[in-house]
Amino acid sequence: MPVDLIVLTRIHRMLRLCNIGPFLWPSAWGADIVQTRDSDDRPALYGNYVSARNTALTPFAVLVGFSKNQLHQTVWRQLMSCARLQEAQLVMSATLHEGHELRQSGRPATSASLQRLPNTATVEEVIAVLDEHGYVIIDELVSGDTMDRIVQEMQPHIDSSMYGDEYFSGNKTRRTGRLMAHSPTARELVMKPLVLGVGRSFLSASHGIQLGSTEMISIEPGQTAQMLHIDDMVAGEYPYTPDFKIYCNNIWAVTDITEANGGTRVVPGSHKKQFEEQSYTQDDTVAVEMSKGSLLIFSGKLVHGGGANTTTDEIRRALSLPFIVSWMRQEENQYLACPQKIARTLPTELLRVMGYDAIYGMGHTGALADPLQALFEE
């Protein structure tokens, strides 16, 4: 059967929860789902998985439709009598919904109906659209030249970046990090008042915000669509309410971005639901098309994924510079990704956003000391 990417994401998350496989961003492992019901028509997923540590095929099973609380002893015993489940070395329960029973009604948006604002928009205007639709595009917030400069600054690092994996990061996609160390122009994007203002306002329930990571994502011809996911998943499996906002992504168009060259695909409005309540496919998505210098801002709760590059000769480049709440672990460790020798040359305001701060004491360097003191100590 064709592997449903949402199901695969969910299994991956179950595996991570159970501490199985490399405890990494979804990479370097694969799952192969062979059946969705057992012989007595009881709902279950069976399959084999491989991981970087354990390359032998390992059978696993996920019991579908039962949360841990619902998995009453009797039901458990009944299910465990099933031969296929006994075979599995791993048995997990998940509140998965089978098929696409929860598919959204109505047709997905088309690129003509995407939510866009001009570059004169205010923080309040951006937040209003972001809260309602889960994403917004700001057209041409910086010049095309700015983006060309970033590519020039990053080119040697892009050229030496590895391709990713087949399941999440993309085997025809190069991801390049450490932009704060290598690209003075990318530093300006992080500090753009509108973008910083939206990040602070969107995540205002937290005492502060910080840069979550810096990543140039170059999608090359032949790359297929990335699995659909939410970025909040980096923080774990908690049943976050829609108001518990922790992640605000900013994806800049470094080249003109089209549906054909791999524009990010989003499911408008999906940020209003718990991830577990969702069962979306690529048919529910719309591709974000935007010209070079434009910005896509979206909630960490919005279902999305990189698009397929069906062109033969265009590389889609986008720069992801998300803001996250100040108490969360950064995906890219800014204290090591940007060597201290370079960090000491950067403006204080940027260093604060990179995490050199101690808001409510979190991140202090001893007796509530300001981490900037330690940075500049000999």
Q: Which residues contact ligand AKG (rule: CB under 6 A)?
A: 217, 226, 231, 251, 264, 304-306, 318
| Tokens of residue 42, six digits | 């009881």
As measured in angstroms, the least distance from the Cβ of 106 to ligand AKG is 24
> Which does residue 318 touch among ligand AKG, Fe ion, none (CB within 5 to 8 A, set by kind)?
ligand AKG
The CA distance from 198 to 177, in Å, is 23
Closer of 231 and 332 to Fe ion (Cβ) = 231
Task: Give the footprint of Fe ion on this chain (CB under 5 A).
Answer: 231
* 374 membership: H or E segment, kind and range: helix 371-376
Closer of 37 and 116 to ligand AKG (Cβ) = 116
The two beta strands, 215-219 and 173-176, are: antiparallel
As measured in angstroms, the least distance from the Cβ of 209 to ligand AKG is 18
Sign (positive or negative) of CA dihedral 197, 329, 49, 36: negative
Closer of 82 and 219 to Fe ion (Cβ) = 219
- Report how far apart, in Å, the C-alpha atoms of 198 and of each of 93, 191, 330, 345 are: 38, 11, 19, 26
| Tokens of residue 119, six digits | 């570059």
> Which does residue 183 touch among Fe ion, ligand AKG, none (CB within 5 to 8 A, set by kind)?
none
SS3 content of the chain, % helix, strand, coil (to 5): 30, 20, 50
Side-chain half-sphere exposure of 79, counting CA atoms within 13 A: 23
> Which does residue 93 touch among ligand AKG, Fe ion, none (CB within 5 to 8 A, set by kind)?
none
Nearest 5 degrees, angle CA 147-CA 163-CA 187? 30
Alpha helix (H) residue ranges in 178-263: 179-182, 184-190, 193-202
> Which does residue 306 touch among Fe ion, ligand AKG, none (CB within 5 to 8 A, set by kind)?
ligand AKG
As measured in angstroms, the least distance from the Cβ of 342 to ligand AKG is 25
As measured in angstroms, the least distance from the Cβ of 318 to ligand AKG is 5
As measured in angstroms, the least distance from the Cβ of 346 to Fe ion is 27
As measured in angstroms, the least distance from the Cβ of 270 to Fe ion is 13
Q: Residue 1 CB: number of other CB atoms within 10 A? A: 7
Measured at CB, which residue is nearest to Fe ion?
231
Closer of 317 and 352 to ligand AKG (Cβ) = 317
The CA distance from 306 to 284, in Å, is 14
Closer of 140 and 276 to Fe ion (Cβ) = 276
> Which does residue 82 touch among ligand AKG, Fe ion, none (CB within 5 to 8 A, set by kind)?
none
Closer of 231 and 357 to ligand AKG (Cβ) = 231
Nearest 5 degrees, angle CA 269-CA 270-CA 275? 160
Sign (positive or negative) of CA dihedral 298, 154, 310, 213: negative
As measured in angstroms, the least distance from the Cβ of 90 to Fe ion is 26
> Which does residue 332 touch among Fe ion, ligand AKG, none (CB within 5 to 8 A, set by kind)?
none
The CA distance from 161 to 175, in Å, is 6
Closer of 38 and 231 to ligand AKG (Cβ) = 231
> Which does residue 264 touch among Fe ion, ligand AKG, none (CB within 5 to 8 A, set by kind)?
ligand AKG
> Which does residue 302 touch among Fe ion, ligand AKG, none (CB within 5 to 8 A, set by kind)?
none
As measured in angstroms, the least distance from the Cβ of 218 to Fe ion is 15
Nearest-10 crossing angle of helices 193-202, 123-133: 50
Phi, psi at residue 82, to the nearest 5°?
-70, 130
> Which does residue 314 touch among ligand AKG, Fe ion, none (CB within 5 to 8 A, set by kind)?
none
Closer of 92 and 225 to ligand AKG (Cβ) = 225
Closer of 93 and 173 to ligand AKG (Cβ) = 173
